[in-house]
């Protein structure tokens, strides 16, 4: 638990950087990082960019897999997660574009797109560290309440709460928010060697309490971290206020 969202970003950014550096000290395999979108991880990405700018970290041998993407938004749409990731992170570091993986929500065959994504993760050697956020309804990625804890990458219909929460990026108009998304599954997240969940803000306090203090539930998919052998939750004081 850190004082502020900025301190959460700094701590988690330093932590991810340390994991990448430790990995390359003992392995020549590429490091595979799972990436979330949303406002929560922005401070983490800022810290990682800062470490890169200071010459303390390189992403040349880092491979990324994003958690999710809206169905139907072209990659160059300003609110696609593809645009988001390049705007806030990838265009500021030395990552090789061929090492960036983001689901394509405009693929002609969405089922095949999801299956190919799971294969690509396996071919990369699995995800070393999955960074994640949490929705205020307790979802991880776009694994909305009711998602199977055994789920893998697939198409999901977004919950009404998520559409309302994300309408702030679409002129505050829920009608403009895509109704469906492609998302990694709960099991895809759990397969990572390490999972780091970021939760900030008073509006996430109840979600964090349920994640940690209630049982594991498919109605609250971020609670899956309780099943993981190597999880960490980084939160600010506000999000921790109901613990
Ligand atoms: C979306 C994303 C999630 C993210 C959540 C919370 O639903 N699919 O991966 O965790 O938003 O976003 P924020 O961090 O902006 O609260």
pLDDT, residue 15, reads 98
Which atom of ligand 1 lies at the shortest distance from residue 39's CA? 15
115: domain CATH number is 3.40.50.1360
In a domain, 122, yes or no: yes
In a domain, 19, yes or no: yes
In a domain, 242, yes or no: no
Q: In angstroms, how far is CA 91 from the centroid of its own chain? A: 18
pLDDT, residue 177, reads 95
pLDDT, residue 176, reads 94
Q: Which of 34, 35, 38, 206 to mutate to test the pocket of ligand 1 (most atoms within 8 A of CB)?
A: 38
Rounded distance, CA 243 to CA 233, Å?
A: 13
In a domain, 109, yes or no: yes
| ipTM, two decimals | 0.95
- For the chain (243 residues), the mean pLDDT of every run of 10, in chain order, is 98 98 95 97 98 98 98 96 98 98 98 98 98 96 97 97 93 95 98 98 97 97 98 98 98
In a domain, 240, yes or no: no
> Which residue among the candidates 118, 144, 191, 236 is catalytic per the annotation?
144
| SS3 annotation, 87-143 | HHCHHHCCCCHHHEECCCCCCCCHHHHHHHHHHHHHHCCCCCEEEECCCCCCCECCE
pLDDT, residue 90, reads 98
The rounded Å distance from CA 71 to ligand 1 centre is 16
- For 15, the domain range is 5-235
pLDDT, residue 172, reads 95
> Which residue among the candidates 118, 137, 236, 238 is catalytic per the annotation?
137
In a domain, 225, yes or no: yes
Domain count, the chain: 1
In a domain, 241, yes or no: no
């Amino acid at each position: 638990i850190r004082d502020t969202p900025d301190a959460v970003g700094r701590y988690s950014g330093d932590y991810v950087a340390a994991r990448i550096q430790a990995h390359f000290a003992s392995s020549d395999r590429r490091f595979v990082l799972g990436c979330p979108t949303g406002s929560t991880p922005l401070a983490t990405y800022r810290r990682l960019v800062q470490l890169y700018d200071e010459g303390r970290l390189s992403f040349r041998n880092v491979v990324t897999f994003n958690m999710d993407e809206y169905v139907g938004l072209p990659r160059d749409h300003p609110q696609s997660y593809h645009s988001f990731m390049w705007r806030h992170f990838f265009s500021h570091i030395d990552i090789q574009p061929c090492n960036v993986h983001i689901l394509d929500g405009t693929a002609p065959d969405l089922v095949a797109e999801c299956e190919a994504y799971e294969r690509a993760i396996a071919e990369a050697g699995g995800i070393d560290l999955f960074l994640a956020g949490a929705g205020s309804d307790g979802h991880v990625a776009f694994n909305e309440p009711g998602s199977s804890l055994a789920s893998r990458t697939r198409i999901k219909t977004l919950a009404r709460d998520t559409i309302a929460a994300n309408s702030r990026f679409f002129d505050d108009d829920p009608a403009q928010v895509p109704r469906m998304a492609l998302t990694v599954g709960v099991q895809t997240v759990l397969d990572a060697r390490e999972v780091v969940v970021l939760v900030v803000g008073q509006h996430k306090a109840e979600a964090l309490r349920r994640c940690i203090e209630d049982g594991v539930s498919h109605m609250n998919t971020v609670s899956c971290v309780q099943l993981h052998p190597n999880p960490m939750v980084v939160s600010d004081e506000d999000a921790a206020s109901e613990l």
